[in-house]
Structure 1
Amino acid sequence: MPDPHPPKLSPRQRLWAYWHALIHEHGWVRILLTTNYHRVGQHAFRSGQLPPWTLVKHIRRDGLRTVVNLRGPVDTPTLALERELCAREGVKHIDLRFFSRDTHRPEVLLEARRLLAEIEYPALFHCMSGADRAGFMATLYLHWMENIPLEDTRQLRLWPFWHYRHARTGILDHFFERYLAARCKSAISLEDWIRTEYSQDDIRSSFRSNRWFNVLVDRVLRRE
């Protein structure tokens, strides 16, 4: 849930937060290359972890009313700075824990469904790199909120999002593939499938990744 009164950072804490974002979380790479910021449908956006000055720019330019942090309620200097910034700008900040290399418990997916229906838009969904978890949430948003067929959402792609479906991160694609296979047998909605048929063990056991893509994503790109 959003915290309406996040702790105010001291100048020293704020300086450390900037240093942590740039060095420890490799923010300098995203600044030099891309923040992976993209529009999603009519009322949402997706991105990686944005530098504070970039987040402020998008809040004001795109009229953002909600920021959903898919890294979860972790206590890092970067996210402390983000929460403080959102409070100052009058934007709701919500933490939702998604994974890039695993499937999710049904209650987490249904919580995402509830949040998408209740949050104020325009909204930003972000993770660390903006490639995997942000793409997963963007897919759910387009399907549930804008009634886009899953086959047409196109949010889990190499270009322009840098999502690698053949690495362990491809388990996110596999989740939707297993649902679409079930839908071929019966006209079941994604939400009902999650409630009645979805099995985390089935997703994990039926998915295979490529070791070389795993090396690229885990050791070279060092994705979270």
Structure 2
Amino acid sequence: MKEERIKRLNTFALPVSGRADMADLSDKPLDLNDPKDRKQARYDLTWGDHGFLRKRFANRHDIGGGMYRENQPSPERIAVWADEGIKTVVNLRGPSPKGFYLLEKEACEKHGIALENYRMYSRDVHSKDRLLGTKDLFDRIEYPAVMHCKSGADRTGIMGVLYRHFRMGDPIEDAIEQLSFKYLHVRHGKTGMLDFFFDDYLTYKAEHPEISFEDWVKGPYDPADVKSRFMSHWTGNAITEWLLRRE
């Protein structure tokens, strides 16, 4: 039944596109107790955040061990999660004054689901602390859980790799499957920085077989150097940088 439910959610596969509309947290947040602001929040979710593309497509996948990955949920989607027994939602976009986040936060509170905000990036490198902090995150949250970003492709991809490695014990060589077109991840363009990061570790490991991923992150990994080397050969294209416009 679980596999059939996931298959049904992914029947209408549409690419999530459009520029991110993540306002600065200094912006005045909407007040959902105000009918006008609530209407604006719905507008933000549906049109500003391209929720209409996610209406019949959750990009849902079972990572394993009680963890699922999806795209940005609507309040109605969170109600479905509650019925399924989901205990924790991990929001990889971080908090925002925009409607999509405020409605998500409200829905999680309404249904008794813990909301964890753990911001990740789809087009940038991550600090050592941010990467290693995922290990603690996965150990302390309640399961079953769902991780999501906007499209469920890139940030859920890198977190899927880290989850399978840190929580399930899979080697990076196998876990990196979480970053693939199966989940709508495109490595051509700046989102390829995520792939480059893991490839850099595997290249280093080939010369130093004894080093673990965690020790590499703690030691040789240099975020600025990885980004510099990636950007030195990266070239954008119309599909990834204009049409998809990854957040």
Q: Give TM-score scaled by structure 2 length.
A: 0.81
* Offset of residue 37 of structure 1: 1.4
Identity %: 38
Contact 1:101-1:170 at 8 Å conserved across structures: yes
Confirm whether residue 134 of structure 1 aligns to residue 159 of structure 2. Answer: no
Runs of 4+ in 1 over 3 A off after TM superposition: none
Instruction: Tell me the residue number matched to 2:179.
Output: 156
3-state DSSP of counterpart to 1:211: coil
Instruction: Tell me the residue number matched to 1:105.
Output: 127
Instruction: Tell me the residue number matched to 1:15.
Output: 39
Structure 2 letter corresponding to 1:35 = A
Instruction: Tell me the residue number matched to 1:4.
Output: none
Stretches of structure 2 that go unaligned for 5 or more consecutive residues are 1-29
* Offset of residue 8 of structure 1: 7.9
Confirm whether residue 145 of structure 1 aligns to residue 172 of structure 2. Answer: no
* Offset of residue 169 of structure 1: 0.2
Q: Which of the numbers 99, 102, 108 marks the counterpart of 1:77? A: 99
Instruction: Tell me the residue number matched to 1:194.
Output: 217
What are the Cα deviations for residues 128-174 of structure 1, in whole angstroms up to 9, with x where unaligned? 11110011101100111001122222110112x11111211011011
CA distance in 2, matches of 1:56, 1:168: 34
Instruction: Tell me the residue number matched to 2:8.
Output: none
Instruction: Tell me the residue number matched to 2:49.
Output: 25
Structure 2 letter corresponding to 1:43 = G
3-state DSSP of counterpart to 2:52: helix
Tell me the number of residue pairs that the alignment of Structure 1 and Structure 2 aligns: 213
Instruction: Tell me the residue number matched to 1:53.
Output: 76
Contact 1:8-1:84 at 8 Å conserved across structures: no
Stretches of structure 1 that go unaligned for 5 or more consecutive residues are 1-6
Confirm whether residue 209 of structure 1 aligns to residue 234 of structure 2. Answer: yes
Compute the RMSD of aligned alpha carbons. 1.7
* Offset of residue 223 of structure 1: 2.3
What are the Cα deviations for residues 108-135 of structure 1, in whole angstroms up to 9, with x where unaligned? 1122221111111111111011110011
Structure 2 letter corresponding to 1:122 = P
CA distance in 1, matches of 2:169, 2:40: 43
Q: Which of the numbers 215, 218, 224 marks the counterpart of 2:241? A: 218
Structure 2 letter corresponding to 1:117 = D
Instruction: Tell me the residue number matched to 1:3.
Output: none
Structure 2 letter corresponding to 1:41 = G
Structure 2 letter corresponding to 1:209 = W
Contact 2:87-2:114 at 8 Å conserved across structures: yes
Confirm whether residue 175 of structure 1 aligns to residue 219 of structure 2. Answer: no
